[in-house]
Structures are given as structure tokens and as C-alpha cells.
Amino acid sequence: MEEAENSDGSITAGIRHPGLEGDPDLQFLLKGGDLLKVKSKSWRKTRLFRLNEDCKTVWQQTSKTFKSDSSFSLEDIDSVRYGRQTEGLQKYTDSSVEDRCFSIIFKGRRKNLDLIASSKEEAKRWVSGLEKVMTGMHSLNRQQNSEHWFYNCMRKADKNADNKMSLKELKHFLRQINIEVDDSYAEMLFKKCDTSNSGTLEGSEIKHFYDLLTYREEIDVIYGKYASTNGQMSSGDLLYFLQNEQRESVSLEYAKKLIEKYEVDETAKQNKYMSKDGFLIYLNHEEGSIFNPAHKPIYQDMHQPLNHYFISSSHNTYLMEDQLKGPSSTEAYIKALMKSCRCVELDCWDGANGEPVIYHGHTLTSKVLFKDVIKAIKEYAFKTSQYPVILSLENHCSTEQQKIMAHHLTSILGSALLTQPLGHQMPNTFPGPEELKGRFLIKGKRLNKLDAAFNNNATEDVDSVSEEDEAAELKENNWQKSRFYLLIKLAKELSDLVIYCKSVHFSNFEHSRDNQAFYEMASFKESKAMNLAENSATAFIHHNMDKLSRIYPAGSRTDSSNYNPVPLWNAGCQIVALNFQTPGKEMDLNQARFLPNGKCGYILKPEFQRDPASQFDPANLRVGPWLKRKTLHVMPSSCLRSMKTSRSPSWTLRSRWRSTVCPTTSPANRHTTLTTMASVNSPFTLMHLANAFFQSVVTEVCFVTGFNPQWNTKFQFTIHVPELALVRFVVEDYDAASHNDLIGLYTLPFTSMQNGYRHVPLLTKRGNLIPSAGLFVHIMALDA
């Protein structure tokens, strides 16, 4: 912990400018300047912007009567884009100001901030400066983030800005960081730290206050247990801790490297010892995270056929909100692609002036030009992942505008668009993601067989195809009664762009096996797919061993809600499309499924979902290679510096631990939920098992107080198919009178979990990291 007083006397302790002291770009941001804010053709206002001294918020001038100024947090910024790279700037500004424009893109649904600087140099300086400060923030470890947050809260509590803390300011500060204490406790804490008897805390006294408030007894206990060399942890002691407690197969050299990397005391480092401070820093870095750092980069075989992978997929990708009246935007595609989504949907309709548009047909959702969407996709498709992107076309256009679509696809995407099968002869299986790096695949209707691509003389006297699946879902009941399929005209130019993802109607698995080529794929409405996954899971899995399947939400989900993707992954379905704009448990699971393997959007399915000899049935487990029973022991130890929620003024915490075991022993036994609850007054721990019946067991009552509440409650679960299991942690603010407020959550694959004492990061409901909060748990997964 750095000294709590900077050279300028500030209580923010040198943590304001992490790694950027004296940087000219930082000084430029702190000084700030006028920028032209653009909202429409007519709304353009000059506003003063500058980075606040906390280096975490940007102040912006406003003309609102009752609001003299406003700030936004850098943590709320998703990215900063130079040039006219948003719909607003492209629509409301001229290309002549291209090099003076930049945009601040916020996380969630907050509107972009489109700005014009007075010069090209100034615009670039704003962009580079903001990116530099944001990079510095993101590079902080958990402990540094917590300190940064702690002292910024303290600075805000310093009402008279004298860089000292009075007793009144201290009480306000404790309430601000979510600790409700009585006056006598606050006074005791204050007097203990006010060693100068000045009536205020300053300098080293603030540091002492921080140490007392953030003291973690559990770390002392763990360190004391393994620091057996004169009260210190030698490299041999650390190795024993790593092998015995963390269950890591590592060497003494690895332990020495950890000491070299994280020890802060030079004498201890020279003697190959790790102090308690160094040990805490180690626990706060990725080696001490619950997520296995070996699974962070791309580590899976990426040369398997495309259908051997789960593929991160989006439904109604163009929508920012609901599918009745929400806005359509290229920004929605950018957000999905930047989350490594590898299959996006384009609902295409005839537009004005001969230009096709994308929107949710027959609704009040706004429209966006097809060509603008393709330009955005081209620009952002491979920024976070180099693996192929599938453009799933839902085509409602006339043949004339279909030709325009084909022209835009070929002219904008260029050589990145796959227009011929790879190789020089007709393939009988998909290429792998590695072979298709940087390529776009079109999913849609095709007039003829793929063989025609190798025989220019092969023509078929047909210009129409049946419109089924999602494109005509509303007419589905009529089709079933009359067996009549609506025919749509299809332009050859667009048809020829469909190579490996030809949309066809699904009748049954036998028909598909006997009549469909590997590149012919069906789309399934969620209800139909769920029925097949529950009643014909093994047949569905074998269908997906040589073909692709796409699942999409029911049209009745007008609020753009999502279905549970787990049963569909269990059945081997690759393209399980979700509404990326809608946060919730379903998107948490999706984010967890694609968290490993470099977050590239492709996850190799387990071998038993790829082997033709497999008889795996998630609804009826039998002996097989998939059955690798594990006993999972979990002890939630403490919650670290949890953020205050908007509704609850007191330190009231509820943490729900959910292990989505997919599958377990029976169709009805798929979810295991563990709930721990803690509050200042009467914390307690519950364990819930959600099966065909509901069982609630009170295991322990544990009273806690303080900044980092401790639980030390033990739970045990049996997991039957580890390769398909996901583990979910949810921390909520308990409210007996109403719904609990979410504090944070984290979900990850069971196979990517590390054993031992681990820190669990917490995310917002939209999947953004909360830097000042986390869980500390003990995990042990053993062979049953």
C-alpha cells in the first residue's frame, strides 16, 4: 500500500495516476478543452470536457438549469473511436471533418457521445489520452483497484477538500462504502487511528485506517499455516502450498518465479521468501484467480470441422432493445462482434431508393441500411477474434434488391467473403476454423447443390425456394395443416454466395441423414429444438456430428428475452442464437461457455459429442467416457469490498452460488444452487437444491461485520459430466421486503476452474467487470 498522502498533500495517495505521473497526454486530459457535441443535424453545442483529478471520471459542462455539471466514469466506457465511426457522426456530419471527429462508446444502452475537436491533432490526443488512462486502469490488479476505489470514495467524503478526515466525514465515508456502524464503533476506529490527537486523520493515519478496515483475517490464517520458515514463507513453503492446497503440478523453480514476480520486499526477494504482502498480491493476480490462466489463450485444436464447435451466435443482432419498437443499429452488430460473436443475423427487406434495409419486419423497430451493416461488420468482425463470421440472412427482399445485397456483400467484404469451397474438388466435410480465419460465410437459401460451384455448366431450371423455418414462422401452423410451403424468388447472384451454410427445411433425423448434404443446415425454433433435445437427444447429437444446427428464440419473445441454451449445447447444437442485447442468466451462461480458448467465439465440443460411435444421452446417463464423476467442495470464505447498491443503505449481502450441472443424473436434476446470506445484524447461510422437488437446508448461522464479511460455510456437490458443466456465482443485496438487488456475478466452465484458495471476480448484469468487488473461495474438485 502506498503512502496515503501525495506530494501535493492529497489523500488520494498517488493512486490517481497509476503509471502515468508526468505523462503529457494525461496532463492534456486534466487540463481539458472545448469540444463540439453532436446529437443531430441541428443540435450541436460546444461543451468543456476534462479528466477529473481522480483519473477515473470525465467532467462535462452542461446547460441544464438544475445541474451545473455532470461526470461519467471511465469504467462505463467500452471504447473510444477516432473518426466518423458511429451512425450519428456518419449521419449528421460531413466527411470533411472526418479527421477531427471521435466518439466515446459506453457500455450497456447508454447513447454514444459524438464529438468534434478543433483540429486533427487535438482529436487524436483525446483518443490516445483516454485509451492510455483506460489501459492503465485495466492493468491494475485487484488490490490496486480496491485501493484506487477506496481512496476515491474517501476523497469524495472529504467535503471541505482539506485532505483530512474529520469524524463526521469518516462516518459519511463508511456509509458511502456500504458499512453501517454505530457511532461508538466509528469513534473507536477514529481514535485508534488519530495518533496525533489532532481531531482529524491525515497521511499515515489514513493508511492505518485503511489497513484496519481492509484487514483480512483469512489471509493471515492461510499464510500462517504455510509460512513455517521462521514465520516466513520460503520458496519451499510456497511450493508446498501450491502443490498441497492449490493442487498445481509445479516445480520449485515456478515457486521462485512467483516470488520474483510478486514479492515487494527486496530483502525477502533476495532470500527467496514471500512476505504476507507478496502472498496477497499473488492471490490477487491471475495465478490466484478461479479461472485457469492456461485456458485464457487459444489452447484447443482449431483444425476440426466447423460443426465440431459450439459457435457464439446472436439473434436479431440489429436490435438494441425489444423487437416491437426498439431501435435497429449498426452499433448492435459492433457490440456483438466485439464480444466475439461469430454468427450474426440480418433480417433483410426491400427499402427505399432500391437499397435493402434491415429491421424486424411488420413492427415499429427502426430501419438501418443493409450496406451500412455490412460496412460495420467488415470493420469490426475480426478485432477480437480472427475466426470465421457467419452472416445468417433472413431474406424477405425482391430479386432486384437481392442482387443489390449480393453486390454489397462482394464489393464491401471483398476477398474475405467465401464464394467458393476450399480446395479443388467437392468436399464431404466442413473445413476448420483455422482454415477459415478472416473469412465470412453466408448462411441462406441456395437454388442448387454445392457441386455446381465446381461445374460451370451445371444449371437447374429453378428460381424459387421454399420459405420455411424462421423466415415464415408466423405461417407455420397453416403449413402444417395444408403441407403448403410459400415459395420465394431467389436471385442467382445471392444464391451463389451460400457455400457451407445452405438453409433447408428439417423433417426428421432419418430424412436428414438420408437426403441432406453436410453443408445443408436447418434452423429450429426453441420449442421444437427443446422437444428434440429432451426426447431425441442422442439422435440430435448424431445429427450434429456432421451437420450444423441453428436454434433461435420464439417470435413470441417480443421483449427480446432468451431461452436456456444449456439443453441445446447438451444436444450438440452449434449455433444457439441468443439476444445479445438482453442481459440475464442465459447470457451469463453464454458468456461462460465462450470464456476460455481466447474468447475467440469457438469452443471444441467434447469428444463424446463428436464420435459417431457415441451413445451419449444427456437425459439418461449410462456408463461411458462422458461419465467422470467429480465431487465439488466449495467454501465461500469472504466477499471483498462489495459495491453499494442503489436501494439498500446498509451492509446487507446475499450471495447465491449456482452450479449449472449439465447434465446430471436425470432430466429433472440439472441445477444445483447454493445460497449464502450475510448482513450486519443476522447473516445466515442456506443451501438450495433445485430439482424436480425443492429442498432447503439451513446449514449454519455465522454472524459477521466489517468491510469484508466472512462466511466459511462448506458445501459439497457431485458433478457427473464435468465437460458440460458450468458454475455460476451470484452476489445479491438481500432485501426481505422486495426483490434482492444484484451486486455482481461470475460464471465459468467447470473444467476451467482452479482448485484451492481463489479470488472470483464479479461482473455487472451486462458482463462488465466490477473492479472493486470480488469473492474469496476455497474450491476442491476431486474424483468421486
The reply to whether 110 sits in an annotated binding site is no
The candidate with the shortest Cα–Cα distance to 441, out of 355, 348, 519, is: 519
The reply to whether 378 sits in an annotated binding site is no
The reply to whether 495 sits in an annotated binding site is no
The reply to whether 63 sits in an annotated binding site is yes
The reply to whether 60 sits in an annotated binding site is yes
The reply to whether 523 sits in an annotated binding site is yes
The reply to whether 50 sits in an annotated binding site is yes
The reply to whether 128 sits in an annotated binding site is no
* Residue of 17, 148, 308, 360 with catalytic role: 360
Interatomic CA distance for residues 301 and 667, integer angstroms: 31
Q: Taking the CA atoms of the chain, what radius of gyration do you get in angstroms?
A: 29
The candidate with the shortest Cα–Cα distance to 643, out of 554, 707, 580, 713, is: 707
The reply to whether 42 sits in an annotated binding site is yes
The reply to whether 275 sits in an annotated binding site is no
The candidate with the shortest Cα–Cα distance to 731, out of 671, 649, 652, is: 652
The answer to whether 746 and 770 have CB atoms below 8 angstroms apart is no
The reply to whether 52 sits in an annotated binding site is yes
The reply to whether 345 sits in an annotated binding site is yes
Active-site residue, 759 included: no
Q: Where are the alpha helices (DSSP H) in 94-216?
A: 120-138, 142-157, 167-176, 183-193, 204-213
β partners of residue 389: 440
Q: What angle do CA 461, 467, 469 make, to 5 degrees?
A: 140
* Residue of 308, 315, 408, 778 with catalytic role: 315
Active-site residue, 633 included: no
Burial state string for 338-354 with b = 16 or more CB within 10 A and e = fewer than 16: bbbbbbbbbbbbebeee
Cβ neighbours, 10 Å, residue 198: 10
The reply to whether 61 sits in an annotated binding site is yes
Interatomic CA distance for residues 672 and 452, integer angstroms: 51
The reply to whether 611 sits in an annotated binding site is no
Cβ neighbours, 10 Å, residue 205: 21
The answer to whether 378 and 372 have CB atoms below 8 angstroms apart is no
Backbone dihedral region of 506: left (phi > 0), alpha (psi from -120 to 50 degrees) or beta? beta
The reply to whether 445 sits in an annotated binding site is yes
The reply to whether 316 sits in an annotated binding site is yes
Burial state string for 717-727 with b = 16 or more CB within 10 A and e = fewer than 16: bebbbbbbbbb
The reply to whether 40 sits in an annotated binding site is yes
The reply to whether 58 sits in an annotated binding site is yes
The reply to whether 158 sits in an annotated binding site is no
The reply to whether 207 sits in an annotated binding site is no
Interatomic CA distance for residues 242 and 226, integer angstroms: 10
The reply to whether 59 sits in an annotated binding site is yes
**Cβ-count burial of 197 within 10 angstroms (0-12 exposed, 13-18 middle, 19+ buried)?**
exposed
CA 224 to chain centre: 36
Instruction: Quote the DSSP letter at residue 754.
Output: P
The reply to whether 159 sits in an annotated binding site is no
The reply to whether 550 sits in an annotated binding site is yes
The reply to whether 366 sits in an annotated binding site is no
The answer to whether 418 and 441 have CB atoms below 8 angstroms apart is yes
CA dihedral 220, 221, 225, 227 (to 10 degrees): 0
The annotated binding site for Ca(2+) is made up of 316, 345, 347, 394, 733-735
Active site residues: 315, 360
The annotated binding site for substrate is made up of 37-64, 443, 445, 523, 550
The annotated binding site is made up of 37-64, 316, 345, 347, 394, 443, 445, 523, 550, 733-735
